[in-house]
Amino acid sequence: MIKAILIFNNHGKPRLSKFYEHYNEDTEQQIIRETFHLVSKRDENVCNFLEGGMLIGGSDYKLIYRHYATLYFVFCVDSSESELGILDLIQVFVETLDKCFENVCELDLIFHVDKVHNILAEMVMGGMVLETNMNEIITQVDAQNKMEKSEVTSVLA
Amino acid sequence: MALKIVKGSIDRMFDKNLQDLVRGIRNHKEDEAKYISTCIDEIKQELKQDNIAVKANAVCKLTYLQMLGYDVSWAAFNIVEVMSSSKFTYKRIGYLAASQCFHESTDVIMLTTNQIRKDLSSPNQYDTGVALTGLSCFVTPDLARDLANDIMTLMSHTKPYIRKKAVLIMYKVFLKYPESLRPAFPRLKEKLEDPDPGVQSAAVNVICELARRNPKNYLSLAPLFFKLMTSSTNNWVLIKIIKLFGALTPLEPRLGKKLIEPLTNLIHSTSAMSLLYECVNTVIAVLISLSSGMPNHSASIQLCVQKLRILIEDSDQNCEPSVNACMKYLGLLAMSKILKTHPKSVQSHKDLILQCLDDKDESIRLRALDLLYGMVSKKNLMEIVKKLMLHVDKAEGTTYRDELLTKIIDICSQSNYQYITNFEWYISILVELTRLEGTRHGHLIASQMLDVAIRVKAIRVFAVAQMATLLDNAHLLTGNVQRKGICEVLYAAAWICGEFSEHLDNPTQTLEAMLRPKVATLPGHIQAVYVQNAAKLFATVLKSQEGNTDSTAAQETSQLMIDRLPLFVQSANLEVQERASCILQLVKYIQKLQQKDVEIAEEVIALFAGELNPVAPKAQKKVPVPEGLDLDAWINEPPSESESEDEQPRAIFAKEEPKHSRPRHTEVDEKELAKRREARKQEQANNPFYIKSSPSSQKVYQEAPGVEHIPVVQIDLSVPLKVPVFCPTGLPMSDQYVKLEEERRQKDRADKKKKEKKKRKEKRSGRGKRHDSGPESEEDITPAHMVDIVTEEMPENALPSDDDDKDPNDPHKALDIDLDKPLADSEKLPVRSHRAAEVLKSPAQDGDAESAASQEPKKKSSKEKREKKKDKDRDRKKSKEDKKKKKKHKHEEKGEDLLGGQAEEPVVQSEATSEVAAPPTSTTAEVSDLDFWLSNAPVPSNTQEAATVVAAAEAAPTSEVASGTAPDSEPDEPKDTETEETKSSKHKKKKQKKEKEEKEKKKKKKHHHHHHHSDGGGEESVQNGTVEEEEPLPPMSNYCLLAENSYIKMMMEDADKVNDIQGNLQDGSQVVVSVIFENKCDSFLKSMEFNVLDSLNSKLQRPEGSGPHDGLTVPFQLPPGVSNEARFVFTMQSIITPQKLKGTLTFIVKNEDSSTHEKLDFKLHFTCTSYLISTPCYSDAFAKLLESGDLKCSSVKLEGVVMPFHHLLARICFRHHFSVVERIDSCASMYSRSIQDHHVCLLVKTSGQTVSIDAKCDEPTLLGNVLDEIKQTFSQC
C-alpha cells in the first residue's frame, strides 16, 4: 500500500499532497515539513530509500523518493510494495506529467495541481497502484479532458 | 430565469479561478495569511450562490488551500453539492475535494450514499470512475456496507476501466466491512483471469494485499498464482505475485521447491532490476524455508550471501551512484532476512557490515545496524558495542543517534543478556550513554539499569556504587534544559541506591545527595522515588549508626531528614507531597524515640523488608484456569425460555465447522507446546547464566558438557570493581573494561588449558564423555563472575503461548476469514431492493432470495460467463464419465453393478444415520487438491510454456481426485507423505473399510487411466487447469422469460413471491406475480394493458367494478431501453396442481411520427413450487412433524447430478422455496410450507451422482407435483 504521495520543491513548498490515510491539516503540514527535512539533507548520490520518518510511522513504512530538477517526488509505502518498483512508478508518473503538460516544469504543477491530481488518480487509487502503463493512463486522462471541454463549450453555447 | 443564468456567468467571469488564486498568493509573499483569509471570505460568498459553476470553482480553490494546510471541513456540505452535479467537470472537482478532506468522522458523508450509488450506475464510465476513485479515499464502514453490492456488480462491468477500479476498491470495502469478503471472494478470484491485464493486475494487487496479512487463507490459490507467474508478462503483476509467494513459502515448503525453477528462469531472462531483485528475495525465502528442515541447503544460503555481498560491496561504474546505493541498501535488506534464520552465514561478513556503518548514507547505516543485532556473539559483543559507541559520539542529528542508542541496548539485552560476559562493563556502557545530549531514550536506559540491578544479583555492589556517583553528579544531567529526557535515569539511580542501600559505601553521603534542594526541580514521578528511597536509605544509615556508641550521628541524620523533607511536603505533585509528609512524620517520631535512647533501627528497616522480584508482563494472562473451574458455566440455572429457540436455527449451516476443527487444533497445539517447552529447557540448560532454584535444572546445568569444569562461584578479584564514572583521563570507562576483559579472558584460557591438561592426564582412561571443543569456541568464554539472572516470574504451570502478541486493533484481523467454506445464506451482501420491503416469516432467507433475484438483471453478463464456465465443467465431467464407463465395460463388465451396489448401500445408510460430523467434503477436497498440486512435483523444466502445461496437466487429475474421493474421504487422512497419485489413492484405500475395497480398486484404475491421458497432454487437460477447486455457488435467478418480441421483453419472476403473508394465511389463495417489462426498441411504449384468460381455478384480481375480461393497465410507460417491474395478484382455489394461464399484453409503440398498436401473447405457468413459502423450521419441530404420522410419503431418485451437495441444496432452497433444517454430511432435511398450510418435508441424500429425495406431505398430489418439478429442475442442468 502507498500511504502518501508528496511533491514539494527544493524549498519545501508543497506542490501536491495526497494522503491515503486521514490526518488533520496540521499533521499533514508537519509530515510534509519533516519529510522535506529528511529528504533535502541527503546527498544526490545516496540511495533513494529512507526509513524512520517518525510521523508517517511504523517500521513497516519507508520513504521512496526521486529528485527531479526543482522537485522532490516522495512516496511513502509499506513493505508490500517493491522498492525498485515504486522508483519505476515515480518515473512513469513524471513521464506522464511530461507528456500531459508538454515539457512539464514546476510552474505547471503550481498552477494546475487539480490536473496533476487527475493524472495521479489514474495511476494510484486509494493507495493501491491502478495502472502502470503510461499510454493507458494518458488515454484515460485525455478522454476525460475531452469530456470536460465539451461540457464547457456546451455551457457557453 | 435566463437573466439569472446570464448574471451567474457574468459573476463567474469576475471570480478568481484557481490560477488567479495561486498567482495572488505568489504576489503576496509578505502577508500570505492575510491574503488567503480574504480569499476564503470570497470563497464563502461564492459558495452561497446558486450557480453550480461558481460553487465548483470555489471548491476547486478550497482543495488547493487544503493542501497549504487550511482546514476546509466547514465546506463539506458544499462539496457534496458539487459532487452531485450532473456535469462531469464539476463532479470531478467535488469528488477530488471530498477525497482530500473527507474522513470517517465527516458527518455529511452519510448524505452521499445515494449520490454515489447513482454515479456508480451512471451510463458514463467516467462518472463511475470518478466516484470510485473518490470513494476509495473516504469509504466508511457504513458506505462500505451499503455500496458493497453495487461495487461487486461493477466488478463484472463491460468496461475494463470500471472493472479494474471496482476490483481495487474492494480491498477498501473489505477493510471497512469484513463481512463482504466471503461473498465477494469468488468473483475476485475470477478476476485473476480477466482478459484485461489491468483488471488482472488489480485483482492480484488486492489478493496480495489480503494475503500478506493472513497468508494461510490464500494458500489454496497457489496453483492459480503459479500459473499467472509463468504466463504473465506484466512486471508489476509479477513482482506482486513473487512477493506473495515469498510470504506463502514459509507456510508450505513444498511450494518453494516448485518455485525455484521458474524464479531462476525469470532471474536469467528479465531485464527489469526491480523484478530481478524480488525474485532473488523470494528465492532466499524459499531457501530459508527449505533449509530449516534440511541442512544441505545451507550451502545455497551461503551462495546467496556471497552474491549479496557483491551487491553491497561492488559499485558498478556504469550506473548512477544513487542506483548503486539503492542496490547496496537492498542487499543489506535481503541479508537481514537471511540473518533471522541463518545467523552464522551472515556473521562471517561482519567486516562488511561494520564498514557500512561508516557509509555516508543514513539509510544504509540503519540497515547495517539492523544486521549487527543478529551478528553479535559473546566474543565480539564488546568490540561491536565499542564501535557503536564511537559512532554515537560522531553522529549528527538526534534521530540517528537515538537509533544507535536503542540498538546498543537491544543488542546487549537480547535473549536475556545472553552475550554479556561482563556486567560491570555493561553498567558502565549504560552510564556512558547517560552523557548523550538530547536523547529521548532516558527511560530506556533507566529501565535497563533497573533490570540489570534487579536480576543480576552479583552486580548490585557495583551498580549501587555507580548509581551513587550518578546521583552525586545529578547536576550534570539536569543542568541543561535540552537534556530533559535523560533525567529519567535518576529515577533508576535513586531506586537502586535505596533498594540495595546495604551495599552503599557511604550511605550518608548519598542520602545527602538525594535530599538536595535541586531535586525539587526534577519531574514529579522522579521526586517521589527520591523521597521514598531517601527513607530506605535513612533506615540503612540508622542501622549502621545505632551500632556505634555515639548516638549523635544517628540523631544528625534524622535532623537532616527533618530539615530537608518539608521542601517536598510543599510539592505540587500529589505523590511527592503525600510520601514526603508521611515520611516526615515518621522521622519526627523516630527522632523522639532516639532522644529517649530507644533502639529503633530494626523496626524502621522492617518497613522496607522483603525483596521485589520482576514479574513478566503477561503473567496474569497466563495463569491457568484451575481444574474443575468452568468459567462459562452458569452460576445459577439460566432462565428457561432462552434455551433451544435461540440456539437451534444457527446450527443449520454453522454446525459442522467447530466439530471438526476443534479437536485437531488442540492436538497440534499440544505437540507444539511440548516442543516449545523442550526447546526452552534446552536453551536454559545451555545457558550458563541460568541458575534455577529447582534441583532438577541445577542438575542439568552441572551435567551440561563444556561448562562442567567452570568453577561455579568464583569472583575474580583481579578485576577492579570500582572505576570512577567520569574518568579524569578522558578514556571512557567501558574501554578499560574491554581491556581488562581481554586480559582476563587470556588468563582464563591459560588457566583452563592448564587445568585441562591436568584433567586429561587424570582422566585419560575415565569417561570419554566430554567433547573437546575447538580452541576458542563461544562456550569457552567464561563470564567475569558467575551471575544469577533472575528470570521474570510467571505463575506456576503458566502456558507458554505466542498468540497474545497480535494487535487486537489490527483491521486485518477481521479479515482472517476462511475463504474456502461454502457461503451461507446469511452471508449475502445487503442489497437495497427496488420495491417496498415485504415482511415474511423468515425474513433473512427470503430477503436474500429476493435480493439475489433483484440483482440479477444487472449481473447478466457475469451470469452468462459463469454459465458458460459451468457448461464447460459439465462437459468435462460428462466426458470423464463416459470414459469411466467405457473403462468399466472393458474391464469387469460383470461384477460392476453388483459391486457398485454393494459398496454404495452401506455408505448411504451410515451417513444418513450417523451423527458424527465429518469435515465438509469440499474442504477436504480442497486440501487434497493443493496437496496434490504440491506433492506431484516433477519440477517444470526448460521454458515457461512447459511449466504452464505441466501445471495444467497436474491440475487436471487433481480435480478428479477431489470429485472422486471427496465423499468418502476420511477426516484424519494424512496428507503429506505420498508423492505419487497412485500411491496416495492406495494409501487411502488402506484406511477404508473392507466393503469398499473393490470399488476403490476400480477407482484407482480410473485414476490411472486419466492420469495417463492427461500426461499425453490433450487439449482438454489444459482447459481443466483453469478449473477452480471449488466452484462458487452459481448465480440463480427466478426470472424466466415469459415472452418476447422485437418491441418488448417480458420476464416473469417465477411466481414465487407470495407477498403479503398475512392476507395469504387468511384466505390462503393469493399469489403475486412480478413481471419485468423491458423496452427493446427505440420507440416509446405506452398504454400497456395486461390481461389473462381466467380459468376456473385461478383468476387475475382486477380492480372493483371492472369486468371479468378487462385488462389491467400497467402503471407506467417505457422509454427506449428502460425496464420496469409490475406486479399482478392472482387468486387460486386449489393449489395442489400446477396451472397454466394464457394472457396477452397490448401496448402502443410511439415513434416521432407514428404510433402503432401491438400485442404480445404469453403463457403464465404457476408451478406447485410457487405456492410454497420458504419457512424456517427447527429440527425438533421437524422431528415431531415426521413422527406425527399425518404425512404421506413419496420419494424420487435423481441420477447423474454432478453438482456439489451444497449447490444442490442451494438450488432446491432457491428454486423450490425450501429451507434447510439440518445438514449432516451429504444428507439434509428440508422444509417448506404451502400458502394453504401444507407441510412439505424432504430428506435429501446424495452418494456419487445419485441423489435420492424422500418426501412427506399431508397432500399427496401437491407432493407429487413438487417432486416432479424438482426432478425437472435437475434434469435441466
Residue A54 touches partner B, C-beta closer than 8 Å: yes
| B473 bridge partner residues | none
Question: Is B191 part of the contact surface with chain A (CB cutoff 8 Å)?
Answer: no
Lowest mean per-residue pLDDT among B67-76, B379-388, B869-878, B1040-1049: B869-878
Q: How many helices (H) and strands (E) does chain B have?
A: 49, 15
The model's pLDDT over B338-370, given as tens digits with 9 standing for 90+, comes to 887 777 778 888 888 888 888 888 888 888 888
CB neighbourhood size of B440 (10 A): 17
Q: Which of A15, A28, A44, A47 is most worth mutating to test chain B (most B CB atoms within 10 A of its CB)? A: A47
Q: What is the pLDDT of residues B39-70, one digit of tens each?
A: 999 999 999 988 898 999 999 999 999 999 99
Tens-place pLDDT, residues B1150-1175:
877 778 888 888 888 878 777 787 77
Interface check B799 vs A, CB under 8 A = no
* Most confident of the following: B223-232, B784-793, B1064-1073: B223-232
Q: Do A80 and B212 touch (CB under 8 A)?
A: yes
Q: Which residues of chain A have pLDDT under 50?
A: none
**B328 part of contact set with chain A, CB < 8 Å:** yes
Q: Do A84 and B330 touch (CB under 8 A)?
A: yes
Interval B1123-1150: pLDDT, tens:
777 777 778 777 788 888 888 888 888 8
Taking CB atoms and an 8 Å limit, are A52 and B399 in contact across chains? Answer: yes
Check residue B1127 and give its pLDDT: 76
Alpha-carbon distance of B897 to B894, in angstroms, equals 7
Query: Which residues are bridge partners to B757 per DSSP?
Result: none
Chain A hits for B103, CB-CB cut-off 8 Å, are: 22
| Contact at CB, A126 and B53, closer than 8 angstroms | no
Whether B94 contacts B106, CB under 8 Å: no
* Closest CB to A151 among B9, B87, B243: B87
So what's the pLDDT on residue B596? 85
Out of B551-565, B796-810, B1112-1126, B1225-1239, least confident range = B796-810
Could you tell me which residues are beta bridge partners of residue B940?
Answer: none
Cell numbers 544486521 correspond to B371
Beta-carbon separation of A47 and B133 below 8 A: no
Q: Give the pLDDT of residue B841.
A: 41
B366 and A CB contact within 8 Å: yes
Band of pLDDT at residue B203, cut at 50, 70 and 90: very high
- Identify the pLDDT of residue B92: 94
- Min Cα distance B379 → chain A (Å) is 30
The DSSP code for B1054 is -
Q: What is the rounded average pLDDT of the residues B973-995?
A: 43
Mean pLDDT of B965-972: 40
Interatomic CA distance for residues B841 and B1174, integer angstroms: 9
Q: What is the pLDDT of residues B761-788, one digit of tens each?
A: 555 544 444 444 444 444 455 555 555 5
Please enumerate in sequence order all residues whose Cβ is within 8 A of that of B1185, keeping only pairs 6 or more positions apart, or say none: B1177, B1191, B1239, B1241
Mean pLDDT value of segment B459-471: 89
- The larger pLDDT score, comparing residue B930 to residue B106, is at B106
Q: Rounded to whole angstroms, how far apart are CA atoms B325 and B31?
A: 43
DSSP string computed for A23-76:
--HHHHHHHHHHHHHHHHTS-TTS-SEE---TTT-STT-EEEEEEETTEEEEEE
- Reported confidence tier of residue B1277, pLDDT bands at 50, 70, 90: low
Q: What is the predicted pLDDT for the residue at B6?
A: 54
Please provide the DSSP assignment of B962-1017 as one string.
HHHHGGG--TT---SS--SHHHHHHHHHHHS-GGGHHHHHHHHHHHHHHHHHHHTT
Residue of A125, A133, A135, A152 for testing the chain B interface, max B β-carbons within 10 Å: A125
Q: Are B520 and B534 in contact (CB under 8 A)?
A: no
Q: Give the Cα separation of B1066 and A86 in Å (integer).
A: 68
| Host H or E run for residue B1244 | strand B1239-1247
Residues on chain A touching B137 (C-beta within 8 angstroms): 20, 126
Q: How confident is the model at residue B5 (pLDDT cuts 50, 70, 90)?
A: low
Tens digit of pLDDT for each residue in B422-437? 888 899 988 888 887 7
Closest CA to B948 of B271, B262, B253: B262
Specify the pTM.
Answer: 0.57
Q: Which helix (H) or strand (E) holds B636?
A: none
The reported pLDDT for the residue numbered B856 is 44
Percentage of residues in chain B having pLDDT higher than 70: 66
How close A84 comes to chain B (CA, Å)? Answer: 5
> Nearest by CB to B67, which of A51, A54, A113?
A113
A11 touches chain B (CB under 8 A): no
pLDDT at B118 over 80: yes
pLDDT of residue B1037: 52
* Amino acid at site B188: L
Chain B CB contacts of A136 under 8 Å are 198
Q: Taking residues B496-507, what's their average pLDDT? A: 88
> Quick check: B1071 and B1166 in contact, CB under 8 A?
yes
What is d(CA B949, CA B960) in angstroms, rounded to the nearest whole number? 18
How far apart (Å, rounded) are the C-alpha atoms in residues B494 and B530? 6
Joined grid coordinates for residue B341:
534464520
Which residue from B minimizes the CA distance to A86?
B274
Q: What is the dihedral of CA B149, B150, B156, B159, to 10 degrees?
A: -160
The backbone torsions φ and ψ at residue B1193, rounded to the nearest 5 degrees and listed phi first, read -110, 150
Nearest to A85 among B87, B137, B239 (CB): B239
The model's pLDDT over B848-901, given as tens digits with 9 standing for 90+, comes to: 444 444 444 444 444 444 555 455 555 555 554 554 444 444 444 444 444 444
Task: Tell which residue, B140, B72, B154, has the closest CA to residue B111.
Answer: B140
Asked if residue B1055 has pLDDT above 90, the reply is no
A49 neighbourhood in chain B, CB within 8 Å: 326, 329, 363
Q: Does the beta carbon of A17 lie under 8 angstroms from any beta carbon of chain B?
A: yes
Give the H/E segment covering residue B497. Answer: helix B488-499
What is the ipTM metric for this complex? 0.97
N-to-C CA span, chain A:
45
Position B1076 confidence tier, pLDDT thresholds 50, 70, 90? confident
- The predicted-structure confidence for B700-732, as pLDDT tens digits, reads as follows 333 444 434 433 333 333 333 333 334 434 445
Alpha carbon distances (Å) from B47 to A114, B55, B57, B81, B94: 19, 5, 9, 10, 13
Beta bridge partners of B582: none
Q: What is the pLDDT of residue B164?
A: 93
Q: Is A113 on the interface with B (CB under 8 A)?
A: yes
Kindly state the percentage of chain B with pLDDT values over 90.
15
What's the confidence (pLDDT) of residue A111? 92
> What is the overall mean pLDDT for chain B?
72
B406 touches chain A (CB under 8 A): no
User: Is B205 at the interface with chain A, CB within 8 A?
Assistant: yes
Would you call B126 and A143 a contact, using CB atoms and an 8 Å cutoff? yes
- B-chain residues within 8 Å CB-CB of A54? 399
The answer, for B159 touching chain A at a CB cutoff of 8 Å, is no
Nearest chain B Cα to A84, which residue?
A: B274
Orientation angle between helical segments B574-595 and B524-546, nearest 10 degrees: 10
Chain centroid, CA B882 distance in Å: 44
**Smallest CA–CA distance from A28 into chain B, residue:** B69
- Which residues 672-701 of B are in CB contact (within 8 Å) with A? none
Angle at B619 between CA B618 and CA B623, to 5 degrees: 120
Give the per-residue SS3 of B779-820: HHCCCCCCCCECCCECCCCCCCCCHHHCCCCCHHHHHCCCCC
Closest-CA residue of A relative to B167 is: A130
The tens digit of pLDDT for each residue in B672-702 reads 666 666 766 666 555 544 444 444 433 333 3
